[in-house]
Amino acid sequence: MATVQENLLDWLRDAHAMEQQAENMLKAQAERLENYPDLKRRIEQHLEETLGQQKLLETCISRLGSSPSTLKDIGGKLMAFGQAVGGMTMSDEVVKGAMSGYVFENVEIAMYTVLTETARLAGDSETQQVCEQILPQEIAMADWLKEHLPQITAAFLQRSANPDVQAKR
């Protein structure tokens, strides 16, 4: 068994590891994109937000007397997402990357929804406030990706049909 506070701390550390993975994915995508400037810019903006989220989570975790998990602690828990985007050598990587990003943002939305309720039940109003501050950033990124997937798809398909231009990134 574990107390609400113990679960809260565990999940905050999971969230921090998730944000480190988000940082890696967003960085890799932003670095590779060449022909999709809107997507690149939005990813760079969310990368900045992600670094801020890490800091906020670190504050909560240290206030509870702990420190962030190392990737070793997390093991394979979150690695599946990294792999979905990590092997970005596919000929359609911009489309698969945007799809994976949308999936990842929704995992983040679920994580912060769970954390908000857990912090509330633990009576930790500072952590609750942090989670309520982060959640809209994840929702906004998920919404942006969903709204722009058709446009990204259309641009990819158009470039893909042209032998003279690069489509995949």
Interaction site with Mg ion (CB under 5 A): 22, 50, 53, 108
Closest distance of CB 19 from Mg ion, Å: 5
Q: How many CB atoms lie within 10 A of CB 111?
A: 20
In the numeric block, the tokens 């042209």 are attached to: 162
Calpha distance 58→55 (Å, rounded): 5
The interface partner of residue 29, options being Mg ion, Fe ion, none and the CB cut-off 5 to 8 Å by kind, is: none
Calpha distance 122→119 (Å, rounded): 5
Q: How many CB atoms lie within 10 A of CB 134?
A: 24
Q: Is 19 in the site for Fe ion (CB under 5 A)?
A: no
Closest distance of CB 156 from Fe ion, Å: 22
Subset of 110-139 contacting Fe ion (CB under 5 A) = 138
Closest distance of CB 128 from Mg ion, Å: 17
Summarize as ranges the residues that interact with Fe ion (CB under 5 A): 108, 138
